Amino acid sequence: MYQLNQFGNIPFTHGALKLLLSNYKSINDKISKLIYDGEIVSLKKGLYVVSEKYRTQKISKEILANIIYGPSYISMDSALSFYGIIPEKTTTTVSIIPKRAKKFVTLFGDFNYIQAPIEYYSIGITQENINNQYHFLMATPEKALCDKLLFTKNLNLNSLKSMQSFLFDDLRADFQHIEQIDFSIIEKCIKIGYKHKELEFLLKILKTL
């Protein structure tokens, strides 16, 4: 179906697909057949992307992460890897969301959404882009580090030394790609009151770089 070309690399809804297929007698049957034939791929109920033959570019996991469940922003290891702060590439795309936590398993990878209080969620979100064409929400480098400290389970960093070891031995963090660290973002996170001692250790270490 050449008409599927119009969707390109961006996910589309059941409603948008029904409009495209409005000439068909049984639209839902046609949608089921498109999925069965591999013409479209289901991301979750009511959300799809076209198959590879209708795309001109690779599907962006970052864009998928924003659209599959939102409002959300990409963070933690996924953002730290994107910025080049940590060397590892991530297999699961992690996002923060002010709603109930969820996980989605798709053909394009796993997407994990971690719940945060709304007053904390709204700090340190920026818009990144792919080829100045597709845009998505992501944590700033500073917020991604704060999220890593807050939402990593069983993380006990009760001294400057343990924080330093976590950053540079465990994460192997490298900040040379970050032109300027925005300390105010970490300070805002500290004021919210979640794990403020750990965040204060983080702030002190980053100020020495």
Q: pLDDT, tens digit, for every residue of 108-167?
A: 999 999 999 999 999 999 999 877 778 999 999 999 999 999 999 999 899 999 999 999
Largest CA distance in the chain: 68
Q: Where are the domains of the chain?
A: 2-54, 61-206
- Residue 107's pLDDT band, with cuts at 50, 70 and 90, is very high
b/e string for 31-67 if b means 16 or more Cβ within 10 A? beebeeeebbbebeeebbbbeeebbeeebbbbbbbbb
Specify the pLDDT at position 74. Answer: 98
Give this prediction's pTM. Answer: 0.91
